[in-house]
A = this chain, B = another copy of it.
Amino acid sequence: MIMLILNPSIIVTMNRTMQIIKDGYLGIEEGAIVYLSDKKPSDCEDIIRLPGRVILPGFINTHTHVAMTLLRGLKDDVDLQTWLMKYILPVEKQLKPTDVYYGALHGIAEMIKSGTTTFMDMYYHEIEVAKAAADARIRAMLTYGSADVFFNVTPEEEFKKAKKFRDELQELISSRGLEDFLYFAYGPHSPYGCTKELLLLIREAANRDGSRIHIHLSETQSEVDESLKIRKMTPIEYLDSIGFLKNDVMAAHVVWPTDKDIDILCRRGTHVLHNPTSNLKLASGIAPIPKLLEKNVNVALATDGPASNNRLDMWKEITLAALIHKGFLRDPEAIPAETALKMATINGALALGLENRLGSLEIGKFADFIIINIKDALESTPFHDIYSMLVYALDSRYIESVWIHGDELYKKKGGFKTIDIDRTREKVEEIRNRLLTEAGVK
């Protein structure tokens, strides 16, 4: 037997029955989970005992622009227009492909360290994000952010760029055997960043090739107001009116859906990606997540890009998602701890259409998980309930190791297996200095 067996105090499976296995055994072989039980396997001698440890599925960060680590903290606490026009856009104009590679690699390191094992991205020079993910050996679904309106090009020209990225990514996947790690999706930026023609080109392409579609949707009230003014339809009504919304669409934010919008999302099976920190920090508002969940819309969690957060730590989003809706709706039962954890794991897998391989610890799924040392945390005393402890009392600092595809990519004592973090940090500082000089931003 070459199977690796881990034996922690608690396995939080996040499976359909939310099974908790005490003193359980998790067996891994060739990147997948092959054994899961509270009984010791009879045919295995090599067991790694993990007393005081909890194993949890890795987090799925369903919406980010990871290379924006380069711009983190460039300017905060100002209005969106100033932030975007005076700081972010001038700097982004100077971005070179290798800048994106290093920005992404740095962000991927942060994500791995804080328990994310799969992420969904949208940015420019996206093939560089793919290369960084490939080098780091993290799982990722990647999109080029298509926006013919912003870039002032024809829908066909812009669509070509998405197809070019698809081909480049396919080449990277084939040449490096990364079929289980990297996934392509379309990334039309938003209903206001794309023409109807581009949206339809993408819709038809996704119908043909079965790819996911990742889009920003109803993020701000002004986006909805503008859409109502122009089309007498909300952004969601508009997308539905052109046949865009299906169950392969992942809609980021959805802070301002009407009741009718929610019915549409429910009917189409469209997934919602909730970014609580970003929605607060950019003053977009507080998304009606409990209502979406009540209407059976699948809601997954995300960090958004590190320039509008300013972290890539999914655990922070889990805690915030469990807190904010209670206070905002004045309902202490809104988003219980278990629900917040589901949003960061199995709901993310459902959103990506990878629920057969990700999002919970079950035999046959990929061995993507984190090991938490609860004895390191003073906040784990006294022990009452594992979900409450994880969501309200602990955070990602107690992650002892992070495993992707059965491979221990990060160890608290020992660092990263696949990332030269010192070099990455140096490069990021260097690039940031060059970008600010070139952009004339102080």
Contacts from A to B (Cβ < 8 Å): 69-70, 72-80, 83, 106, 109-110, 113, 221, 277, 279-286, 309-311, 320, 323-324, 326-334, 336-337, 378-379, 381-385, 388-389, 392-393, 395, 397, 421, 425, 428-429, 432
Residue among A221, A330, A397 with max Cβ neighbours from chain B (10 Å): A330
> Can you list 14 pairs linking A and B with CB atoms under 8 Å apart?
A72-B384, A72-B393, A73-B382, A75-B384, A76-B337, A221-B330, A280-B327, A281-B326, A281-B327, A283-B334, A286-B328, A310-B388, A311-B393, A382-B429
**Would you give the shortest CB distance from A131 to chain B, in whole angstroms?**
19
The 9 closest A-B pairs by CB, nearest first: A280-B327, A382-B432, A73-B384, A397-B397, A77-B336, A283-B332, A280-B323, A310-B392, A73-B388
- With beta carbons under 8 angstroms apart, the residue of B277, B283, B385, B429 that contacts A330 is B283
The reply to whether A280 and B326 form a contact with Cβ atoms under 8 Å apart is yes
**Would you give the shortest CB distance from A201 to chain B, in whole angstroms?**
34
Known A310-B392, A393-B310: A76·B385 in contact at CB below 8 Å: yes
Residue among A83, A327, A337, A425 with max Cβ neighbours from chain B (10 Å): A327
Complex Cα gap A397–B21 (Å): 29
Known A283-B327, A323-B277: A109·B388 in contact at CB below 8 Å: no
The reply to whether A279 and B429 form a contact with Cβ atoms under 8 Å apart is no
- With beta carbons under 8 angstroms apart, the residue of B277, B280, B421 that contacts A378 is B421
- With beta carbons under 8 angstroms apart, the residue of B113, B381, B388, B432 that contacts A69 is B381
Q: Which residues of B contact A379 (CB under 8 A)?
A: 72, 110, 310-311
Complex Cα gap A331–B280 (Å): 9
- A398: nearest chain-B partner, CB-CB: B397
Q: Which residues of B contact A326 (CB under 8 A)?
A: 280-283
Q: How many copies does the complex hold?
A: 2
Q: Which residues of B contact A429 (CB under 8 A)?
A: 381-383
Q: Which residues of B contact A309 (CB under 8 A)?
A: 392
- With beta carbons under 8 angstroms apart, the residue of B77, B110, B388, B397 that contacts A333 is B77
**Would you give the shortest CB distance from A213 to chain B, in whole angstroms?**
27
Known A72-B393, A310-B379: A80·B280 in contact at CB below 8 Å: no
Complex Cα gap A382–B285 (Å): 28
The reply to whether B327 and A285 form a contact with Cβ atoms under 8 Å apart is yes
Complex Cα gap A321–B111 (Å): 24
Known A285-B327, A286-B327, A327-B286: A333·B78 in contact at CB below 8 Å: yes
- A397: nearest chain-B partner, CB-CB: B397
The reply to whether A337 and B77 form a contact with Cβ atoms under 8 Å apart is yes
Q: Which residues of B contact A279 (CB under 8 A)?
A: 327
Known A72-B384, A76-B392, A332-B77: A378·B281 in contact at CB below 8 Å: no
Complex Cα gap A239–B209 (Å): 68
- With beta carbons under 8 angstroms apart, the residue of B80, B277, B286, B334 that contacts A332 is B80
Complex Cα gap A377–B14 (Å): 30
- A334: nearest chain-B partner, CB-CB: B283
Complex Cα gap A329–B284 (Å): 9
The reply to whether A283 and B397 form a contact with Cβ atoms under 8 Å apart is no
**Would you give the shortest CB distance from A203 to chain B, in whole angstroms?**
32
Q: Which residues of B contact A334 (CB under 8 A)?
A: 283
Q: Which residues of B contact A330 (CB under 8 A)?
A: 221, 283-285
Complex Cα gap A293–B106 (Å): 38
**Would you give the shortest CB distance from A285 to chain B, in whole angstroms?**
6
